[in-house]
Amino acid sequence: MYSPRTGAPAPFYEKIKRVISDNIAAGIWRPHDRIPSEAELVAQFGFSRMTINRALRELTDEGLLVRLQGVGTFVAEPKGQSALFEVHSIADEIAARQHQHRCEVLLLEAVNADTQQAQALNVAEGTRIFHSLMVHFENDVPVQIEDRCVNAEVVPEYLQQDYTTTTAHDYLSLIAPLTEGEHIVEAVKASAEECRLLTIHEHDPCLLIRRRTWSRTGIVSHARLIFPGSRYRLQGHFPS
């Protein structure tokens, strides 16, 4: 296999990507199917684990795969359209920097939607929804508060997942694949409790992203993502 741009032999990870992509295109692996693990692919192809990991990571970024830490890698459902900003798992972003991610789950509960939650999810006030509150760490430094409400009808088993081994983003992407996304970005002052969770001072600047995601069945979730301004950079990719 040769690179179409240079005519030189393609890198090993590109060969793995081509095999996986061809299997998906041919219907050998269908949406939601679990593909072989990294160890199984290493044994099958004889390439290093680093090579296999890069191939899987790039296919995930391209939307062909969904990776759930501690669970496996699955074929993604084809997306109807692309969001203006690519939406990635914070765990994957941290791993791409060769850093360690961990998550502390502070709340995971069923609640009756208040007025704001009902508007965000486009459901009636008082509807039973799911609410989660988590803090994400990079090398044991808190970098994000994730305050999320989820449409319980679309994702009925949301509360049964272990979000210390997979992210809410990755689980939702598998169960209700993203077809549309909305970002609202603001500079905010964190509350006293948010400052405590992020270990920042009262007047330190923060970035708030309000993110709503849709699947084919409607709005899936609304998340308030709060980042210390000194620990986050907003980066988007615009299609040509």
The CATH number of the domain where 31 resides is what?
A: 1.10.10.10
Looking at the DSSP assignment, which residues form a beta bridge with residue 210?
184, 224
Q: What is the mean pLDDT of residues 48-64?
A: 88
Whether 136 and 33 share a structural domain: no
70 and 88 housed in the same domain: no
Give me the torsion for CA of 123, 116, 79, 132, rounded to 10°.
-100
| pLDDT band at 61; cut points 50, 70, 90 | confident
The pairing of strands 218-228 and 205-215 is: antiparallel
Do 127 and 198 reside in the same domain of the chain? yes
Number of domains in the chain: 2
Query: What integer is the mean pLDDT of 53-75?
Result: 83
Q: Are residues 84 and 198 in the same domain?
A: yes
Q: Higher model confidence: residue 122 or residue 93?
A: 122
> Residues of the chain with pLDDT > 70: what percent?
86
Domain-located, residue 2: no
Angle ∠(112,116,118) on CA atoms, nearest 5? 50
The pLDDT of 209-229, averaged and rounded, is 91
- So what's the pLDDT on residue 143? 92
Q: Inform me whether the pLDDT recorded for 81 exceeds 70.
A: no
Last residue within a domain, chosen from 43, 59, 75: 75
pLDDT at 78: 63
Say if residue 149's pLDDT is above 90. Answer: yes
Tell me: do 51 and 101 sit in the same domain: no
pLDDT of the residue at 238 = 47
Backbone angles phi, psi at 234, to 5 degrees: -85, 125
DSSP symbol at 167: -
Residue 7 lies in a domain: no
End residue of a domain, out of 28, 52, 75 = 75
Please say which residue of 75, 103, 124 terminates a domain. Answer: 75
Does residue 88 carry a pLDDT above 80? no
Q: What's this model's pTM, rounded to 2 decimal places? A: 0.66
Q: Both 59 and 106 in a single domain?
A: no
Q: Which amino acid would we find at residue 169?
A: H
| Dist. CA 206–CA 229, nearest whole Å | 4
Residue 4 lies in a domain: no
Dig out the tokens for 141 from the structure.
Answer: 């430094």
Cα separation, 215 vs 84, whole angstroms: 16
Q: Can you give the residue range of the structural domain that contains 129?
A: 80-235
CA angle at residue 187 from 185 to 190, to 5 degrees? 115
- Min mean pLDDT across 21-30, 79-88, 113-122 is at 79-88
